[in-house]
Amino acid sequence: MKKLLFVAFLVLSTSLFAQNNSLYAVSENYTKKEVHIKMRDGASLYTVIYTPKDQSKKYPIIMQRTPYSCAPYGPNEFKKSIGPSETMMKEGYIVVYQDVRGRWMSDGLYDNMRAFIPNKKSKTEVDEASDTYDTIDWLVKNAANNNGNVGTWGISYPGFYATYSLLSRHPALKAVSPQACISDFFFDDFHHNGAYLLSYWKATPLFGIQKKERTTKSWYTLPDLGTKDDYQFFMDAGPLSNLDKFYGKDNEFWQQLKDHSSYDEFWQKRGILQHLKDIKPAVMTVGGWFDAEDLYGPLNTYQTIEKTSKNYNTIVMGPWSHGDWARNTATATIGNIKFGDSVSSFYQKNIEANFFRHFLKENGKDSNKLPEAYVFDTGVKDWKTYDVWPPKNAAKESFYLANDKLMTSVPIEFGFQEFISDPKKPVPFTEDINQKGITPRKYMTDDQRFSARRPDVIVYETEVLKDNMTLAGDILAQLQVSTSGTDADWIVKVIDVFPSDEPETIEVAPYLKMSNYHMMVRSEVMRGRFRNSFINPEPFVANQKTAVNIKLQDVMHTFKKGHKIQIQIQSTWFPLIDLNPQTFVDNIFYAKSEDFKKQTHRVYDDSKIIFTVVK
Question: Can you give the three-state secondary structure of 496-539, one letter per residue?
Answer: EECCCCCCCCCCCCCCCCCCCCEEEEEEEEEEHHHCCCCCCCCC
Quick one: pLDDT at residue 22?
Answer: 55
The residue out of 385, 409, 439 marking a domain boundary is 385
From 472, 458, 462, 477, select the one nearest 398 (Cα to Cα).
Answer: 477
CB atoms within 10 A of CB 594: 9
| 167 located within any domain | yes
Bridge pairing between strands 608-614 and 469-483:
antiparallel
| 133 located within any domain | yes
Let me know whether 333 and 477 are in one domain: no
Angle among Cα 297, 298, 299 to the nearest 5 degrees reads: 95
The percentage of residues in the chain with a pLDDT greater than 90, rounded to a whole number, is 87
Let me know whether 309 and 442 are in one domain: no
Q: Number of folded domains in the chain?
A: 2
| 8 located within any domain | no
Quick one: pLDDT at residue 41?
Answer: 98
| 509 located within any domain | yes
How far, in Å, CA of 146 to CA of 139, rounded? 8
Let me know whether 141 and 274 are in one domain: yes
List the chain residues with pLDDT less than 70. 1-23, 366-369, 434-438
What backbone torsions phi and psi does residue 358 show, to the nearest 5 degrees?
A: -60, -45
Angle among Cα 274, 280, 286 to the nearest 5 degrees reads: 70
For residue 465, give the CATH number of its domain: 2.60.120.260
The residue out of 350, 385, 420 marking a domain boundary is 385
Quick one: pLDDT at residue 328?
Answer: 82
Q: Is 108 exposed, middle or buried (0-12, 13-18, 19+ CB in 10 A)?
A: middle
Enclosing domain of residue 53: 14-184+270-385
How far, in Å, CA of 549 to CA of 528, rounded? 10
Let me know whether 423 and 337 are in one domain: no
Q: Is the peptide bond before 281 cis (omega within 30 degrees of 0)?
A: no
Inter-residue contact 393 to 473 (CB < 8 Å): no
pLDDT digits (tens, 9 = 90+) for 482-498: 999 999 999 999 999 99
Strand partners for 556: 472
Let me know whether 333 and 414 are in one domain: no
The residue out of 364, 385, 406 marking a domain boundary is 385
- Quick check: helix, strand or coil at residue 27? helix
How far, in Å, CA of 508 to CA of 485, rounded? 44
Inter-residue contact 46 to 97 (CB < 8 Å): no
Expressed in percent and rounded to 5, the helix, strand and coil fractions of the chain are: 20, 30, 50
| 123 located within any domain | yes
How far, in Å, CA of 82 to CA of 62, rounded? 10
| pTM for this predicted structure | 0.95
| 115 located within any domain | yes
Let me know whether 376 and 460 are in one domain: no
Bridge pairing between strands 282-288 and 191-192:
unpaired
Let me know whether 491 and 398 are in one domain: yes
| 235 located within any domain | no
Let me know whether 131 and 148 are in one domain: yes
Report which DSSP code applies to 227. S
| 193 located within any domain | no
Let me know whether 376 and 401 are in one domain: no
What backbone torsions phi and psi does residue 536 show, to the nearest 5 degrees?
A: -120, 90
How far, in Å, CA of 542 to CA of 102, rounded? 48
For residue 69, give the CATH number of its domain: 3.40.50.1820
Inter-residue contact 320 to 298 (CB < 8 Å): no
